[in-house]
A = this chain, B = another copy of it.
Amino acid sequence: MSIREIPLNRVRITDAFWSPRQRLMTDVTIPYMEKILRDEVPGAEKSHAISNFRMAAGEETGEFYGMVFQDSDVAKWLEAAAYSLALKPDKELEARVDDVVALIGRCQQSDGYLNTYFTVKEPENRWANLLECHELYCAGHMIEAGVALHEAAGKDELLHICIRLADHICDRFMQVEGIPGHQEIEIGLMRLYHATGNAKYRDMALRFLDLRGQDPQWFEKHTPKHPGVHYGGYDIIAEDTAYNQSNVPVREQTVARGHAVRQLYMLTAMADAAADTGDAELIAACDRLFDNITQKQMYVTGAVGSTPHHEAFTVDYDLPSDRCYGETCASVAMTFFAHNMLAIKPDGRYADLMELELYNAALAGMSQDGKRFFYVNPLTVDTSVSGIVPGYEHVLPQRPAWHACACCPPNLARLIASLGKYLWSEDEGTVYSHLFIGSEVETRYGRISMTSGYPWEGKAEYTIHDGGDFALTIHVPQHAVKVSLHVNGEEVSNVTADGYCRIQRNWQPDDRVTVEFDMPVRRIHAHPCVRDAAGKVALARGPLVYCVEGMDHHASLSSIVLPESAVVHTTAEEMVALHVNGIAQYASDRLYSVDSVKAMPISIRAIPYFAWGNRAPGDMQVWIREA
Chain A residues at the B interface, C-beta cutoff of 8 Å: 294-296, 298, 300, 306-310, 312, 314-318, 322-323, 380, 382, 384-385, 388-391, 479, 522-531, 534-535, 538, 555-556, 558-559, 561, 564, 584-597, 625-627
Contact = CB atoms under 8 A, between A and B. Distances in A.
Given A384-B318, A625-B535, A524 B592 contact: yes
A600 to B, nearest CB: 11
A535 B523 contact: no
Given A382-B531, A531-B322, A561-B535, A594 B390 contact: no
What are the 8 A-B residue pairs with the smallest beta carbon separation, nearest first?
A: A309-B390, A525-B587, A528-B559, A534-B558, A531-B558, A314-B389, A528-B586, A307-B390
B534 A389 contact: no
B522 A534 contact: no
B296 A384 contact: no
Given A307-B390, A556-B529, A593 B524 contact: yes
Contacts of A531: 322, 380, 382, 558
Contacts of A626: 597
A469 B590 CA distance: 39
A352 to B, nearest CB: 11
A591 B298 contact: yes
A446 B317 CA distance: 63
A58 to B, nearest CB: 42
Contact of A316 (B384, B564, B590, B625): B384
A307 B594 contact: no
A310 B390 CA distance: 9
B525 A597 contact: yes
Given A314-B390, A318-B384, A588 B309 contact: no
Contact of A294 (B309, B389, B591): B591
Nearest to A520: B594
Contacts of A389: 306-307, 314-315, 318
A314 B385 contact: yes
A561 to B, nearest CB: 7
Contacts of A380: 531
A306 B535 CA distance: 24
19 contacts: A294-B591, A307-B391, A312-B390, A317-B591, A391-B391, A522-B594, A523-B594, A523-B596, A524-B592, A525-B588, A525-B597, A527-B589, A528-B555, A528-B559, A528-B584, A528-B585, A530-B591, A534-B558, A538-B592
